[in-house]
Amino acid sequence: MIYRKAKFQDIEAIFGLVNDYAHDGIMLARSRNTLYETLRDMVVAETDDGRIVGVGGLHIIWDKLAEVRTMAVEPSMVRHGIGAKIVQKLLQEGQELGVEKFFTLTYKPGFFQKLGFRVVTKEELPHKVWKECIDCPKFPNCDEIALLKE
């Protein structure tokens, strides 16, 4: 398995992964436009034959604060450590930039708890976190669970 920064040619595979989960209500949908705009945020997992089977993004929010988001692994590849490896890569990248706090909003808190994140109330996160939520179809009734790693 190769873990690398996402490239333009990965967008369609990422779009499919993310929006298949979104269709099932497991994560929020992402438009192609959003994926292109956040391309530099993302790391992908690629099989030896060039198939994208996982993705995750690290979005810088504010001073030493970043969000782990857009996490998706092809269902047939779940529980093979791919998601954990992507998160580790994102955390390493963030630490190299000086990030001290990482958070995520998810419907799968157990996955992140195994990686050292802890559940927090949404009120514990800075207001800067919510600037993109206004565009979410679930706003203001967010049902995702907030987790933090310091």
Q: Among the ranges 20-29, 58-67, 126-135, which has the highest mean pLDDT value?
A: 58-67
Calculate the average pLDDT of the chain: 89
Three-class DSSP labels, the chain: CEEEECCHHHHHHHHHHHHHHHHCCCCCCCCHHHHHHCHHHEEEEECCCCCEEEEEEEEEEECCEEEEEEEEECHHHCCCCHHHHHHHHHHHHHHHHCCCEEEEEECCHHHHHCCCCEEECHHHCCHHHHHHHHHCCCCCCCCCEEEEEC
The superfamily in CATH containing domain 2-149 is: Gcn5-related N-acetyltransferase (GNAT) (3.40.630.30)
Q: What's the pLDDT tens digit per position in 63-81?
A: 899 999 999 999 999 999 9
Q: Locate the domains of the chain by residue range.
A: 2-149
| φ/ψ bin of 70: left (φ > 0), alpha (ψ from -120 to 50), beta (otherwise) | left
pLDDT > 70 fraction of the chain, expressed in percent and rounded: 88
pLDDT at residue number 22: 87
pLDDT at residue number 130: 57
pTM above 0.85, yes or no: yes
